[in-house]
């Protein structure tokens, strides 16, 4: 880039641009760093955990429901068998002593089996109740999380709208100021801004306001002796150094 020259007036405009650019950077940081954004991300992560946990609980419930039906069927089968054996016994169909003893022993063993199976059914019912209350707790948390997130999103959107309004204002002003700055000077400014964040700084009382470095006497003397349309840059931070009445020259 060749040597850019610009009138003091145009150089002063760069300070306005730098202020507006700093404002835009500040607004972008505020937008990114909004506490509502971080909090929403945290709640979204929790909501997703809850969703998975609810799905898992529903799956367990449906497995359990099948297990319950099976256990109830088993109990029913044993009961039917006992009834049948009893009926044979009551009808006096069995008279031989050995057959009778065997039938009675079968009924006894079926009763034990029935008792065991009924215990299993009870156990399954307990597990079912535990799971249902867990699912209800999860669902309640998800519901309250949902309304929390809604309120938070509304807060975030209001903050975004405010920031964006200020941003649009600053961008508009930047456009107006930039339109008055000669193209080569604006190009230089924007190049520095892209790498440095801010493209220009005021020289105030012998110091660069961008990096706060005090210029040495040799450099100050050079600036003092230079024509007003020369464009200087800070040796330290490379920003365009703009002379004002406060420069202490």
Residues at the interface with Zn ion (CB under 5 A): 208, 210-211, 234, 236-237
d(CA 70, CA 74): 6
Region of residue 226 (phi > 0: left; psi between -120 and 50: alpha; otherwise: beta): beta
Q: Minimum distance from CB of 207 to Zn ion (Å)? A: 9
Q: Minimum distance from CB of 246 to Zn ion (Å)? A: 16
- Chain-centre distance for alpha carbon 59: 28
Is residue 210 within 8 A of residue 198, CB to CB? The reply is yes
Q: Minimum distance from CB of 28 to Zn ion (Å)? A: 23
Strand, helix or coil for residue 2: coil
Burial of 145 (0-12, 13-18, 19+ CB in 10 A): middle
d(CA 246, CA 249): 8
Minimal CA–CA distance to 200: which of 64, 8, 18?
18
202 vs 234, which CB is nearer to Zn ion?
234
Q: Minimum distance from CB of 51 to Zn ion (Å)? A: 53
117 vs 240, which CB is nearer to Zn ion?
240
36 vs 197, which CB is nearer to Zn ion?
197
120 vs 211, which CB is nearer to Zn ion?
211
Alpha carbon distance, N-terminus to C-terminus of the chain: 27
Query: Where would I find the beta strands (DSSP E) of the chain?
Result: 200-204, 207-208, 232-233, 240-243
Q: Minimum distance from CB of 12 to Zn ion (Å)? A: 17
Q: Minimum distance from CB of 239 to Zn ion (Å)? A: 5
17 vs 237, which CB is nearer to Zn ion?
237
Is residue 144 within 8 A of residue 152, CB to CB? The reply is no
231 vs 234, which CB is nearer to Zn ion?
234
């Amino acid at each position: 880039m060749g040597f850019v020259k610009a009138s003091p007036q145009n150089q002063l405009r760069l300070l306005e641009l730098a202020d507006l650019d700093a404002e835009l950077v500040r607004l972008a940081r505020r937008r990114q760093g909004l506490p509502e954004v971080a909090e929403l991300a945290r709640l979204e992560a929790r909501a997703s955990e809850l969703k998975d946990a609810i799905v898992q609980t529903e799956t367990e419930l449906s497995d359990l429901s099948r297990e319950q039906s099976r256990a109830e069927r088993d109990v029913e089968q044993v009961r039917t068998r006992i009834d049948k054996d009893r009926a044979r016994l009551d009808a006096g169909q069995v008279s031989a002593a050995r057959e009778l003893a065997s039938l009675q022993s079968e009924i006894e063993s079926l009763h034990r089996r029935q008792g065991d199976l009924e215990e299993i059914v009870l156990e399954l019912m307990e597990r079912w109740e535990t799971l249902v209350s867990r699912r209800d707790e999860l669902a309640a948390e998800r519901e309250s999380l949902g309304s929390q997130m809604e309120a938070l999103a509304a807060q975030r959107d209001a903050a975004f709208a405010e920031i964006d309004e200020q941003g649009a204002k600053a961008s508009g002003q930047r456009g107006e100021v930039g339109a008055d700055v000669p193209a080569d000077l604006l190009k230089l400014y924007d190049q520095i801004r892209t790498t440095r964040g801010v493209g220009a700084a005021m020289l105030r009382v012998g110091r660069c306001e961008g990096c706060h470095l005090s210029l040495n006497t040799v450099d100050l003397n050079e600036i003092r002796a230079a024509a007003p349309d020369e464009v200087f840059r800070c040796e330290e931070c490379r920003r365009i150094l703009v002379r004002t009445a406060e420069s202490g020259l």
